[in-house]
Structure formats: structure tokens, C-alpha cells
Structure 1
Amino acid sequence: MGCCQSKVSNEPTIRYEVTVKTADDYMDAGTDATVYIMLVGEDGKCTEKKKLDNFLRNDHERAQVDHFRIQARDVGPPCIIRISLEGFLKEDEWLCETITVHYKGEEVCFVVQDWIEGDREFARGTAELTHKIKNRYIRSLRQREIERNKVNFDWAETPVEGTVGWGLPRYGKWESYTKLPKIFKFEQARLKHLVFQGIGAGMGAVLNLLGDFSQPIKDFESFKRLYSHNKLRRTEVPNYLEGWETDEGMGRQTLNGVSPIHFKRCCELPSGFDVTNDDVAQFLREGKTLESEMQIGRVYIGDYSKMMNGIKRNAHPKTKETFHCCSAVALFYVRSDGKLVPIAIQLVPGDRDYLFTPADSKADWMLAKIYFRSTQSNAHQWQYHFLYCHAVMETFAVSMFRCFPSSHPLYKLLRPHLQTVPTINTDARNTLLTHDAMANQALALSGVSSVQKWYKTFRLENLNIPKLLKKQGTDNRDLLPEYHYRDDALRLWNIMEHYVGSVIRFYYKSDQDVVQDTELQAWTNDVAVEGFGWLDGDCKGMTKSITTISQLIEICTIVIYTSSVQHAAVNFGQFANYRFVPNAPLAMRMCPHKKGEANMKRIIDSLPDITMASISVALGFTLSSFTPNDVFLGDYRKKFFTEAPVLEMQKEYRQSLEALEKRLEERNCEMEHPYTFLLPSRVPNYIAI
């Protein structure tokens, strides 16, 4: 170890007490190797290598806390420790959480939270900015750590056109779960859980429960049979599907379903949307016109007319017939009772034969709503779920592990929220995005083709939910009541932003501290240039350098919020949303109907068949499953920060979340259709499914 100064003979020794905590995450977290420790003082003096071993005790076992006493050279309170593993097995590893050294009543905690193989060095757990570090040995250690990280967490080779990674945010170099750095691999409880054997395995297990695929779909009741198995019954949202076929039901799901941000206030009608005042006047307040209601903020629009163009459609795995996904547009209206309802849907832009309103036949209007919901479902899966949450957050995650040493405050702040996303995405690229993936046998749009198109127009600012809602004109509670996603999302954003801001301001005292933090600037540039702008230099609104505290708070809040709250909003309601296929089909088998063509036979023939529907149910169940060891908002059971003021900030954060939970539960008790997706106790800290 380069920082270690040799011992002079006859120097005084002192007794150090060492407390070691082994992690509980994995069956093999413990080690049978002999563990040695070396302590390094502030002046670079170090102890000799000391064995951490208690006589006749099996030390360093999973979930175990061990205490040791060592007599060693007095180097003062250590600022660096070196851990060495020596054993019979060449690849013997140890997952250590923390090592605490006690010296003359002083306690120095070293946060490890990593696998140790061979020799590793760790700086004291106090989070520090690189330009404020006075100890040259710690500065040197941090630089060596970053150099090692750049190798261990390298970007994947630059993708070439035609491969899965082309035109997507950048990700890590590992091609499969087995090649992931061990720090990314799922904990033991996840591995035992059905869905975390892999997305494909999880879906396959659900399909086995569904049974016989030979029974044809004859009516709506046939679809209900698919999720009637006892093992697929859930009670989280018992009446989510209630009134699914009504206009009120569609409006409620638009506001508070799994895709709650793709609609906006309508101030003018887009080209190709041929609705007129005469078409919808009977659905407006008496004496009002479409124009006047748009001006005062009672009209909203969900517009997919341009989004779907140029995206490859999937085909049925057996018949090879191409799936259909419309370039649909829907107009919504806030009635006098505060309910949001659809009042016009056009399935083919520029052709009034495909324009429908509630005045049309019941079958025509129902099928039009089903087509719109199918289009909405594809945008939800590939844009708002996979691209915005999974793919973009993985870029931040890989770069964080590459650019920050473990003692940097931003590493400690972000890691609990970013550690799992590279793992699930590695699986997703192999089981959801490939051409022959099971998901592409049920979804109308090709995953790769969709994400490639929508990533071209992605901007990071669209993940700032308060700004997005304001930009879309959906932030006003008086104009748009019963938008519970918005209300809960903004409350959570404010609580989270306050916590993030408190932590960041504890370490960054001025904007100059931000500018001088070379590790932060390297991370920012790495995300922008190598992560987002690798293909054409378009950094997607991610700055190449951060210059102010407020800018840093915004970016960190976006990352933590998207990895937790926003992902929960668009993910964990999927089974409730997709289990009854007519509510939100992932693909349609027939082209859109014209006015007057719909009847019940046409509706059933247009909806997914038994194979497609079964995959939809399996996908929804698998992707919306929690696991026994999920860690939810405000729970920082794994220790990263050691400073008392920051630990107090985390306590206040938890208390704010608990107060909000109580408030939301009281509100939900008074609601016919409770909104539970953003209860803090149901929002995991991270993206793991």
C-alpha cells in the first residue's frame, strides 16, 4: 500500500477494537477466508497486518456482527483501512457492510457495502468533496478507486446500427446477468421470488398457471377467466376495473392509471383531428362551445397522432399477421361534476370516417375507446416505463459507479436508488426488447423501434414532474380535479426535493464548491457525452457541467424521483390495468373500424386472441410484483452516510413521508376508487422490476 510508512522498532502499541458487520443479502455473503486488516493513520503511518479472528468462533458469516481486539502500532484514529482475504479458494469473496474501529473512545466507521476479493482499501465513512480533502493519502486512494471503477463499470462498446443498443441511452458492458459485476446481482430473497428468476422465467411461470391456450376467446367473460387463478389474485386495487367500459372509467384511468402524464390541456386542435363544435356540443355545458371551453381550461387532449408514425409493428407469432396500433387522438372534457370524460376519438388522422363520439352506437364508441387505450398502452410500456425510467436511469447509474468514489456524498445519496436498475435492464434487453422476445408477441409496437424513435426527442427536463405538469397545463387543481396522481406526485416531489437539497447544501456551501468538484463534473460530462450523446452529440438536455447548487439539486431529485416515485406510478399498477385485456389491450388484430362497422363480433375479433391475451396477463403480473425484501421510500437500512446531521435529515425525511402516508390513507378512505400507487409504503427506493 503506497501510503504506508514502515514501523520503527520498539514503537508503542495500543489496543484497537474492531467491529465488523457482514451483509445478509446473499447466502454466500460470508467468507471462510482469513481476514486481515491494516490501519493507516492521518500521517500515513500504518499498523502491521492483523488477523481478524476469534478463537473457536466462526467469524464473518452471513448477517453476523463480529468484535475483535487487536494490539497494534499506535497510528492514531485511522483514516484508511486495508482489508486482505487469504484462503484456500482463489476466488473467495466477502460481502461486508461496515467496519468500525474504536480508538481511545473515538469511533471511526468505514462504509464498505461491497464485495471484497483479495486486497481492498477503504477511506473513512465521512463523505467529503475532493477539493476539500486535506489528506493526500485519501486523495490518492480516491483516484485509484475511480481508475478501478472505470474498468469494472465500463460502458458497452459503441453499438452499431441494427443491434439492440443502437439509438438508445448507453448502458454497461455486461451482456448477461452472469457477467454483471457482483454488486449488481439480486439479493437472495429476490432470487427465490418467482419473478426475479428473470422476466422471461417469471412470465413463463405465470403462463403455466393460465393453462390451456386452445380455448378461444368468445366474449368478455373469456378474458376474465385468464386472471381467475388463486395465485394471480391480488387485493391492492380491488375495484380498479370497475366501470372500465364507461366514459367515467376511461377518464379516471387516464388521470390515475399507469400512464398518467400523456395528456395535456387543449388550447387548439392539432392538424388531422377533424372534430368540430357540432360534433361535441351536446356533451358540453349548456350554451358553451368547444372554443370557449378550451379557453377556460375544461378541454384536454391525448394525442398519439405523430408518435406512432414510422415505428415497426410486431406480428402474431403463429398467423404472422401484423398487429395494429392506431395514431389515435382523444379529446377529454371536465364536466360540471368534475369528472373527466372522453368526448371525441379519431383513430385515423384526417379521415372523419374514423371519428367517433358518445353519440355514435354503443359498439362503435366502445371499440374506439379500446383502440385508443391500446395505443396508450404501447406508449406507456415503451416510452413512459422503459425509456423514461429504466433506460435513462441506467445511464445515470453506470456513470455514477464509474465516476464517484464510495466516499463522495453524491455516491452515498444516489446509490440506494440506482444500484438495481442495471440488473433488471440487462435482463430486459434479452427478454423484452429482442425481436423474438415474448413481449413482442403481445405488444403491437416493436420495443427497439419505439424506443429508438422516442429517444430522439427525449429531454431530461420532462422528468421534472412539476415543470412537466405546468408545461402541459395539467397542474391546476381547480381546473382539473380528481387528478390524484398529480396531487400525490407533487407532494412527494416537494418532500424529496427538500431532503435532497438539505443533504447537498450540507456538503456544498456555495456554487463555487459545485464548480470545483472535479468528480462531480466528470460524472456530469460522462452522463451527457458518453451516456446520452454518444451517437450524435445530442445530450438530451443533460448539461455537460453543473455550476450551481440549485442545478445539482434538480438533477439529483430527478434521478431519485424517477427511480422511485415515477417508476412506481407507471409500473406497479400494470396487473390491475392489463389483467382484463379489453380494458387496455397491448395490440389489436384488426385495422380500425369505420363509423357504423362495430358490433360485438367485430370487437372480439379485433381484440387479442388467447395467446396474446395470456402473454399480456403474464407480463402485467410479472412486472408489477413486489418482493419480500423490497426497501421503500425513506428506508435507508443500509448505511452509507455516517455524519449525524445527515442521519437526522434522513429521519426527518422518513417522518415527512409517514405524515403524508397518513394523509393519503385518510383521503383514500373517502374515495370510491382509492389511489394507492404512490403511497410511500408502496414506492420502492429503486427500479428492480
Structure 2
Amino acid sequence: MLGYGTLKGLHNRGQKVKGRVVLMHKNVLDINALTSAQSGTGLITGGGQVAKRVTSSIIDTYTAGIGCSVALRLISATTADESGKGKVGKRTFLEGFVTSAPILGTGQNTYDVHFKWDSEMGIPGAFYIENFMLGEFFLISLTLEDIPNQGDINFVCNSWIYNAQKYTTARVFFANKTYLPSQTPPPLVYYRQEELKVLRGDGTGERHEWERIYDYDVYNDVGNPDCKASFARPVIGGSKTLPYPRRGRTGRKPSKKDPKSEKRSDNVYLPRDESFGHLKSSDFLVYILKSVSQNVIPILTSAVTLQFNKPEFDSFEDVRTFYEGGIKLPTNTLSKFSPIPFFKELLRTDGEAPLKFPLPKVVQVNKSGWMTDEEFTREMIAGVNPHIIKRLQEFPPKSKLDRQLFGDNTSTVTKEQLEPNMGGVTVEQAIKTNRLYILDHHDAFYPYLRKINAADTKAYASRTFLFLQDDGTLKPLAIELSSPHPQADSFGPVSDIYLPASEGVEASIWLLAKAYVVVNDSCHHQLISHWLNTHAVVEPFIIATNRHLSVVHPIHKLLLPHYRDTMNINALARNALVNANGVIETTFLLGSYSLELSAVVYKDWVFPDQGLPNDLLKRGMAVEDPTSPHGLRLLIEDYPYAADGLEIWDAIKTWVDEYVNFYYKSDADIVQDSELQAFWKELVEVGHGDLKNPTWWYKMQNRMELIEACTTLIWIASALHAAVNFGQYPYGGLILNRPTKSRRLMPKKGSPEYDELAKNYQKVFLRTITPKNDTLLDLTIIEILSRHASDEQYLGQRIEGDLWTSDSQPIVAFKRFASKLAEIELKLTERNNDKALRNRYGPVNMPYTLLYPSSKEGLTCRGIPNSISI
């Protein structure tokens, strides 16, 4: 399973072993060059940098022609030298490398290589590679052909190779064998350990583009005090007050005005292999996001203001012009967008309404269904933030806020307010029969209300009470909106209760009350469900894995697909989305307190609770039931996110269980795995070091814990992220349905605002929620984030095909996993065709497809990528 056989057949000294090397040349005009240049002088300028790359490519072409551009040396896995290290063969060069200058769009190329190798050298298990060109290239693989009694030996590389002088240690790659540390062939032990030392680095200095060092840092790079005092932000992470997962360390110098903050720059260091591939369409998404945030949005908002001469929507029809009528832009504006692939889809060429957004799925069938109470509640279990709702188990609900600071925050809602809409069921009966639920956005938001309301935004802490009806749908009973006491926080909140209404001004008040709830939910979704609980929490796992689990370690091989592109998209987010004055701060309610709020919520993050079954149990949405297919019984049977998610969870867990038990034959193997134990210790104590409570983590002492941990991590990176990300535009593309801001307080009876509401509720509603320019920015960004790239790797797929391991049983098990996912997709389709399951499509007639495993490219509202890749 894990070893090499005896080498027979290479008897003659100097006999040649033939190999095939697959690589991609560095593209002269690749997207990384464009994005780097773009930050300098404009949208797609930067000719000087491009010229340098062209020059280096010409030199590389010449160098390649003389046959000494790329050298390889094989390393033995079975024969050691006097020091115990695997013997290293003689240097050999690629044959017939580059024969013409590379051009835009250059793809993979294959080259022959012949190694001098004989029986005294044993079986090759690794190789060194050296690049003597000025520019880098992307090494995909090496295959050694027809090794006696071995067949082909495959080395899966997928790594950038820079000029040899950039490295203090030669680049080494291993065959696709898989070993626990104790089972590593002795001649390879040194190379395995040295490679991990290189990846860990020494924790000092500023990192450079060509480096591959993984290290930790706090979030001290989202503020920009050197640019403007108002852009200063507190350090997030490293304290009990504002704990946070760690990000990748860049080593940039401190800012001048705040030594605790890192000086910002457009180009953020990433370990080189964490960067998007240069032909990857996601690179274009990176380019677009940069362009949108830095260049496009100012131009668009200016054009929109000029066209409409007003920053506000006046009616719901006015909102629909973004999709149906489009926005006319000046010719000079269009020319600036023409090079950007994404905008080609939005721009028409007939001169009429050239900028038009796709119609969000939530209004494709029913334009007004979003306004209904049923859709309002359905999206709590089948929308883009479907895992916050909880079963109400005590009445009235209490708060966990400190009473000395914030007074008594127990809910003020009464039974008399709820029971008239409960069909004769009392509150006590509803709690006993699992029919009372709550969407609680009180404790997270309440401490920030004074700060929020001191700005242009106006908000409430909210609690929404829900009743499970006989047909399986949820009915809203009441909304509680709370504000700080006028005198002091310690007096507790001032709360108002709003009840459903369908006629008159009370119906408009109710619509506004729902909007305040959805604004809170939108902020919670983006900052916590999406950013914190998927993007941010996964990054320390990536860093710890690369620092302590060798590429030949089975758990590294298991988890690798679920890390693809995550550090890259996170770095981009820190530069353009969650940074000071970035998209989130600009267009969402919390403004400059956005990341700070997520840090406060992170205090209660517990890793085992992120697994779907534990999450459902903790929220009271399910109870344990050994007779049920998943060991759980959902208390809302028609709960699309949970019902579909449990299918995916079980498939992942079955695959992980088979995989782990193939490599670990006993629990003792887990304890004795030095790399695994170092990985887990550093992850808990450093990567998530602000949450060291041992009860919040698996102890990693047996196979069960490893299986649960890996299943949970894969769930977070794949299905959970898919559920909270790819519905952003389908649901939130209609700003009426998921506003991100509230700018007015609820009108009081007898006030001019109340009278205005009675006359024109649409205008008041639109003056309360997200304004036009922010909507434009929201739509542009979330459409990009809701799209799948053309080369997306979905759950059940691997970019390496069957070559990721040489062990046949894990490959067969992985194929079973892929087949199971295909079966699940058919099952979910059948569920969506069952009209008795009303929560699966709702008044808007929008089936719940976010957990369908597969997808095509683009804006599909379905598909589970392996990783957090956008």
C-alpha cells in the first residue's frame, strides 16, 4: 500500500529513464500582470511593467533555446547516501523547451526528459527542479515511464517555479505516494522534513512574490490610517476583546500613523501557490473586483446621478429599471468598460439602455411575491442565510448581554400579542409541541445601536417570532424592534412590538418592520455567516496544514482541494471588500464597525458546532433520532437547507470515514502521528489562538475525532459556503427583498413621516432602505461573487484526476463519493418537484437549488465548489 517494490531491469549503469514534464509558460499579458499594473495608472494601463515581462520572456526564449533552462535531478526513495538521505541523481535538462516567444493564451506544453538512473540508485521517490530563466513557469507534473515492477511513477506538482537564485533550498517534489510520518521511506525523511521547514519560514521579514512561506498574523491590515484618520481601524485578533482567526502573514512594514497597523499596498503577499492560476477565469473576477471598487463604481455612480439627477428610487418600478430598462451611459464611459470581460455581458451595443443587470431569480416568476409574509419567513429556512433561525424553548426569550452595561434585555413581547394569530394554540402548547421559532438579531446588534444611529444610518435590534403551521410553512407572529434608552444603556432598551397587518397604513408599518429585520439579517449574513464563518475561519486551517502536514501526508491530500484559492480571495477581500471604506463598510448598516461586530460574535464560535448535525441540535431545529436516516429528526420537516444539507453532510462523512480508516488502522495511529498532532496543536493554539478553550475543539486523540474534524472542515469550505454565497444575487439582487441599510427610524403615529407613509408607502420604504448608488455597488459586487468560474472544481471532483494518490482504494472510495453526490442531486430535484413541500419554492416559485452539487459556469444559483474560491 505504502511502499516501493524492488527495482529490477535497470542493470546497466547509465541506463536512461524517460520522463514527461507538463508545464505552462508564464503568460506575458496574464491577468496577474494586468491587475498589478492596473493599480498604478488606470483601469488597464501599466505598460512599463508589461514591457519588463515581455523583455524577460524574450530573454527566456533565447536561454531556453540553448538547452539549459530547466534542470531536474531524481531522488531515491530506497537508496540512501552516507548521511541517510536519498541518493540524488545527475542533473538533466528538459529537451526542446521553448522554441518561440509565448503569446497570450498559451496553455500546457509537454516536454521529454531523460534521466541517467540505474539499479544502484533504487526507486525514484522525489526530484529537484531548477529554473535558470528570468521568468517563472507553472509546473504541472512529471511522469516517469515504465519503471520496472512499478510502471509509471507520477509526480503531481501544480506549483510556480521561479529562477533558482530566488530559493535558498532547491525546489523538491514527491511522487504521489501517501505516507504517515512513521511510514515514510527512510531516504525521504530528510526531504519531507526540510520541505516543511521551508514552508514555515522563520517568521521574520517582508515576504516576496516568489516565496511559499505560510505564517500567521492578526487583522491589522484592513485600516488605512496613513490615508485618512477616519480610515483607522482597531486590530482584530490577538485580544479577548476582539478575538479573530488569523490571516496569512505578509510582513509588510507598519503604517506611519499607527505602528500596530500594517501599511497597505495594492499587491498583497500570498504563498505563491495560493494565487489563482494565470489562465483561471477567477483571475478575471479578481481583476473585475479591483476595477469595480477602484474605478468602475465612481464612474457608474456619477453617470447614474447625472442621468437621473437624484440619488433615490421613488417607486418599486424605479428599482426594476436596473433590470428591465437599464441605465444609459455616456459613450466615453462605455469605452472605459469595453476591455473588461464581465461588463461585456452587461453592456448592450445598440445604443439603448446599455447597462442592464440580470433579473434576480426571486422576481423572475412573481414580481411581488417577495412582499408576502410567507416568503419573508421561507427565506429564513431556504434563503441565503438559512441557519440562524432557532426553536423558541423559553418565553419570553432572554438576553445574554451584560445587565450592568445594557440593563435587562429580556423580550417585552407578551402571550396576548402572539396567541391571536396562533389558531387557538397557546404559547405553552406551541413551545411543548415545537411550533414556536425565533429569528433573533438582538444581542449582536444592540451594543452597536448608539454608534450606528449617530451616523446616517438608523437601526434597531430585532426579534422575529414565528409559528409553525399545519401545512409546514412558518407564519410571522410579531416583530420586536429595540432601541437604547434615551438616558443610558444601563436602563435597558425601549422596545416596540409590531403585528402583521394587510391593509391600510398598518400594512405599510408591517412592511417596514420586516425591512428592519432583513437589514439586520443581511448584515449578519455577509459579516458573520459568509465572511467570518466560512472565509475567515478556514484560513488558519490552510496555514497550519501547509506548515505541518507534508504533501505526502494523507490528510494533506484529503483537504487540499478544499483550500483552493481561499487565501487569494481572502486577501482580495481585505483589500477591497472588508477594508476601511470598502464595499461592506460603504453599503451595509454597520459601516466602520463591521469587522468589529464579527469579532465580538466570534467569541462564541465553537468548531464542533459548525458541523451541520451539531448546529441543528444546538439551535433546537432537530432532535436525535436513531430511527431517522441521518440520526436526526427535523422539527420543521420541510426545512430545505437542513434536509438537503444532511444528505450532503452524510456523503462527505462517509467518504472521509472510508479514507481515514484506510490510512489509520487504530486510534493509536492518530496519537502517534507527529505531523497531525503538530498541525492540530498549532491550529488551536495559534491559528484560532484566541479561542483556546479545550472544550471548543476536538482533542484529536482518535479516528472518530479526526473524521468529525475533517468532515466539518470540508462542510464549511464546500456546502456551507455554497449555501450562503451563490444565492446572494438570486435573492439579494432585488434590493427590495434584501436591503443592506436602514436610514430612517420607524414613523410614529401622528408624525409627518407617518402621514407621508399613508400617502406613498413605496417612497417612504425606499427612503428607509439602501439608496440608489449603494444599490448599484451592491448589485455589481454580489453578481460577481455569485458566479461560478469556468474551471470551478466541484465537490466530488479533483483537478489531478486519479493521480492525486497511488493508492487504489481511496480512489475507488472517492468515485463512490462522486456517484453518491450525483444520486443526491436527483433526489433534491425530486423534492423540488413535490408541490406539497411549499417551503421549497414559496410564493416566488423559486426552487431551493443552492445545495445541488453540480453547476455550469456563471450565475446559476446552484453548485457546491470544493472550496471557498470566490
What is the aligned partner in structure 1 of residue 389 from structure 2? 263
In 2, Cα distance between equivalents of 1:509 and 1:674: 44
- CA deviation map 1:521-549 (0-9, x unaligned): 1110111011111x475578234x51010
2:866 to 682, 685, 689: 685
**In the alignment, structure 1 residue 291 sits paired with structure 2 residue 445:** no
Q: CA deviation at 1:199?
A: 3.1
Is this contact kept in 2: 1:345–1:357, CA < 8 A?
A: yes
Q: CA deviation at 1:280?
A: 2.2
- CA deviation map 1:427-464 (0-9, x unaligned): 11122222211321111113221122111121112211
In 1, Cα distance between equivalents of 2:236 and 2:290: 17
In 1, Cα distance between equivalents of 2:99 and 2:565: 34
Tell me how large the CA RMSD over aligned residues is: 3.1
**In the alignment, structure 1 residue 170 sits paired with structure 2 residue 246:** yes
Change beyond 3 A, Cα 1:642–1:236: farther
Equivalent residues in 2 for 1:600-679, closer than 5 Å: 600=761, 601-638=763-800, 639-671=803-835, 672-679=845-852
Is this contact kept in 2: 1:280–1:344, CA < 8 A?
A: yes
Q: CA deviation at 1:483?
A: 1.1
What is the aligned partner in structure 2 of residue 14 from structure 1? 15
**In the alignment, structure 1 residue 132 sits paired with structure 2 residue 183:** yes
Counterpart amino acid of residue 143 in structure 1: Q
3-state DSSP class of the match of 1:143? Answer: helix
- CA deviation map 1:311-330 (0-9, x unaligned): 378879xxx93323321000
In 2, Cα distance between equivalents of 1:52 and 1:602: 70
Change beyond 3 A, Cα 1:402–1:15: same
3-state DSSP class of the match of 1:395? Answer: helix
Q: Taking structure 1 as the reference length, what is the TM-score of the superposition?
A: 0.90
1:507 to 660, 663, 673: 663
Q: Which moved more, 1:618-627 or 1:79-88?
A: 79-88
Q: CA deviation at 1:235?
A: 7.0
What is the aligned partner in structure 2 of residue 5 from structure 1? none
What is the aligned partner in structure 2 of residue 180 from structure 1? 270
Q: CA deviation at 1:594?
A: 4.8
Is this contact kept in 1: 2:608–2:709, CA < 8 A?
A: no
3-state DSSP class of the match of 2:17? Answer: strand
Change beyond 3 A, Cα 1:190–1:66: closer
In 2, Cα distance between equivalents of 1:405 and 1:59: 36
In 2, Cα distance between equivalents of 1:235 and 1:212: 20
In 1, Cα distance between equivalents of 2:747 and 2:20: 71
Q: CA deviation at 1:109?
A: 1.8
Equivalent residues in 2 for 1:122-161, closer than 5 Å: 122-133=173-184, 135-151=185-201, 152-157=212-217
3-state DSSP class of the match of 1:39? Answer: strand
Contiguous gaps of at least 5 residues in structure 1 = 1-9
Contiguous gaps of at least 5 residues in structure 2 = 1-10, 33-56, 81-86, 165-169, 202-211, 221-232, 253-265, 327-344, 347-356, 399-409, 484-491, 624-632, 836-844, 855-862
3-state DSSP class of the match of 1:196? Answer: helix
In 1, Cα distance between equivalents of 2:599 and 2:612: 23
What is the aligned partner in structure 2 of residue 558 from structure 1? 712
Change beyond 3 A, Cα 1:46–1:497: same
In 2, Cα distance between equivalents of 1:186 and 1:634: 21
What is the aligned partner in structure 1 of residue 329 from structure 2? none
What is the aligned partner in structure 2 of residue 51 from structure 1? 93
Counterpart amino acid of residue 667 in structure 1: R
Change beyond 3 A, Cα 1:549–1:353: closer
What is the aligned partner in structure 1 of residue 70 from structure 2? 35
Is this contact kept in 2: 1:314–1:323, CA < 8 A?
A: no
Is this contact kept in 1: 2:361–2:846, CA < 8 A?
A: no
Is this contact kept in 2: 1:439–1:615, CA < 8 A?
A: no
In 2, Cα distance between equivalents of 1:84 and 1:432: 38
- CA deviation map 1:327-359 (0-9, x unaligned): 100011111222112111001177786201114
Is this contact kept in 1: 2:23–2:137, CA < 8 A?
A: no
3-state DSSP class of the match of 1:520? Answer: helix
Q: Which moved more, 1:562-571 or 1:197-206?
A: 197-206
Equivalent residues in 2 for 1:470-485, closer than 5 Å: 470-475=617-622, 479-485=635-641
What is the aligned partner in structure 2 of residue 491 from structure 1? 647
Is this contact kept in 1: 2:281–2:789, CA < 8 A?
A: no
Change beyond 3 A, Cα 1:377–1:595: farther
3-state DSSP class of the match of 1:325? Answer: coil
Q: CA deviation at 1:387?
A: 0.6
What is the aligned partner in structure 2 of residue 224 from structure 1? 320
Counterpart amino acid of residue 276 in structure 1: T
In 2, Cα distance between equivalents of 1:441 and 1:315: 13
Q: Which moved more, 1:327-336 or 1:448-457?
A: 448-457
Counterpart amino acid of residue 376 in structure 2: M
**In the alignment, structure 1 residue 277 sits paired with structure 2 residue 429:** no
**In the alignment, structure 1 residue 339 sits paired with structure 2 residue 339:** no
3-state DSSP class of the match of 1:581? Answer: coil
Is this contact kept in 1: 2:412–2:495, CA < 8 A?
A: no
3-state DSSP class of the match of 1:13? Answer: coil
What is the aligned partner in structure 2 of residue 4 from structure 1? none
Q: CA deviation at 1:673?
A: 3.0
- CA deviation map 1:34-58 (0-9, x unaligned): 2222223311244322223149978
Equivalent residues in 2 for 1:499-538, closer than 5 Å: 499-533=655-689, 535=690, 537-538=692-693
Change beyond 3 A, Cα 1:202–1:651: farther
Equivalent residues in 2 for 1:165-564, closer than 5 Å: 167-174=243-250, 177-190=267-280, 194-197=284-287, 199-202=289-292, 205=296, 211-213=303-305, 214-215=309-310, 216-228=312-324, 229=326, 231=346, 232-233=357-358, 238-239=364-365, 243-268=369-394, 269-271=396-398, 272-285=410-423, 287-311=424-448, 321-348=455-482, 354-359=496-501, 361-445=506-590, 446-475=593-622, 479-533=635-689, 535=690, 537-538=692-693, 541-543=696-698, 545-564=699-718
Q: CA deviation at 1:622?
A: 2.6
What is the aligned partner in structure 2 of residue 7 from structure 1? none
Is this contact kept in 2: 1:97–1:114, CA < 8 A?
A: no
2:144 to 97, 100, 103: 100
In 2, Cα distance between equivalents of 1:147 and 1:429: 28
Change beyond 3 A, Cα 1:126–1:648: same
Q: CA deviation at 1:114?
A: 1.6
In 2, Cα distance between equivalents of 1:525 and 1:205: 45
Is this contact kept in 1: 2:26–2:137, CA < 8 A?
A: no
3-state DSSP class of the match of 1:576? Answer: helix
Q: Which moved more, 1:108-117 or 1:565-574?
A: 108-117
Counterpart amino acid of residue 330 in structure 1: T
3-state DSSP class of the match of 1:64? Answer: strand
Change beyond 3 A, Cα 1:208–1:625: farther
Counterpart amino acid of residue 602 in structure 1: V
Q: CA deviation at 1:101?
A: 4.4
Is this contact kept in 2: 1:146–1:405, CA < 8 A?
A: yes
In 2, Cα distance between equivalents of 1:588 and 1:380: 16
Q: Taking structure 2 as the reference length, what is the TM-score of the superposition?
A: 0.72
Change beyond 3 A, Cα 1:451–1:128: same
In 2, Cα distance between equivalents of 1:77 and 1:315: 69
Counterpart amino acid of residue 865 in structure 2: P
Counterpart amino acid of residue 302 in structure 1: L
Change beyond 3 A, Cα 1:55–1:554: closer
